[in-house]
Structure 1
Amino acid sequence: MIKKELIESIVLPKLQEEDLFWVDINISATNNISIIIDGDKGAGIDSCIAISRLVESNLNRDEEDFELEVASAGVGQPLKITRQFVKNIGREVEVVRKNGEKLKGTLTAASPDSFSVKFSKKVPIEGRKAKQTIEEEVILAYGDAKTVKVVVSFK
């Protein structure tokens, strides 16, 4: 079986050269290799092709057969690593917490341990039926979030 560390060692120098980063590398028991890449300015098809060719040229199909897929992190896919969170600061995100609670707001900060989301919520005004909207910012550890996705708006 092809090892993840081998794939990382092959692609990392090229990714750094092109100011890209890997989001996920998965290798199944049948050597189906899936590499998801991204960059601070996105990752285009040319970058995916270059990484694919690099991996193909460094692995020997005669020794160990494999299937290879290289893709850029797409719209609607969850954010997985800190660098993706940093890249998307200021954008609207939907967070699903491990307890099932959903938050929708603006990603305001990201650090190696946590991220912050500012969101609006309606709270009742004491003594009245009316509600007022308040803004609240919550800091979440990455482990507290089940998924975090950028909200795509077509406005």
Structure 2
Amino acid sequence: MDQTKVRDLVDEALALNESLYLIDFVISENNKIQITVDGDNGVPLSECIRISRSVDNNFDREEEDFSLEVSTPDIAHPLKVNRQYIKNINRILKVKTSVEEFEGTLVEADEDKIVLNWKAREPKPIGKGKVTVSKAATIAYKDIIEAKVKIVF
């Protein structure tokens, strides 16, 4: 299976809807093509079908034996692309870096970094008891090992 040709076909299909972007693209040894796409406003099933057909229609199944799967990312999977962070602003993220873990509301995401806010209970500077304080962390994408959206019911 020609990986470059498949990738070009996927890119062409995604170009028709600029709110969509590629998350993952894998061709296994037994020609199973797995394409994962996401969108700034979600991905309707019709778009997954359209992308699948634009790839499938450009190959002759008599010559190439392959399976094709176009899907959207599972909420349990980590964020992989910067645009996914922008899409999830105002949601709670669990972020792991090599130094520590954070859990907070994503309040900002740009090309280089994200900003998380959360509240924490800390001992009072004077006296007994605790006080609630607001905390923030600015984390560069390059420092993020894993980031997942926390599902709150």
> Which category of TM-score, normalised to the shorter sequence, fits these structures?
0.7 to 0.9
Output the TM-score relative to the length of structure 2: 0.87
1:1-155 superposed matches below 5 A: 1-3=1-3, 5-18=4-17, 19-99=19-99, 101-154=100-153
Percent identity (aligned): 36
Gaps in structure 2 of 5+ consecutive residues:
none
* Cα distance in 2 for residues equivalent to 1:144 and 1:12: 28
* Cα distance in 1 for residues equivalent to 2:6 and 2:131: 53
* Cα distance in 1 for residues equivalent to 2:32 and 2:11: 19
Cα drift, residue 57 of structure 1: 0.9
2:11 alignment partner AA: L
* Cα distance in 2 for residues equivalent to 1:128 and 1:67: 67
Output the TM-score relative to the length of structure 1: 0.86
1:27 alignment partner AA: I
Cα drift, residue 106 of structure 1: 0.8
> Is the contact made by 1:103 and 1:119 (CA closer than 8 Å) also made in structure 2?
no
> Is the contact made by 1:79 and 1:85 (CA closer than 8 Å) also made in structure 2?
yes
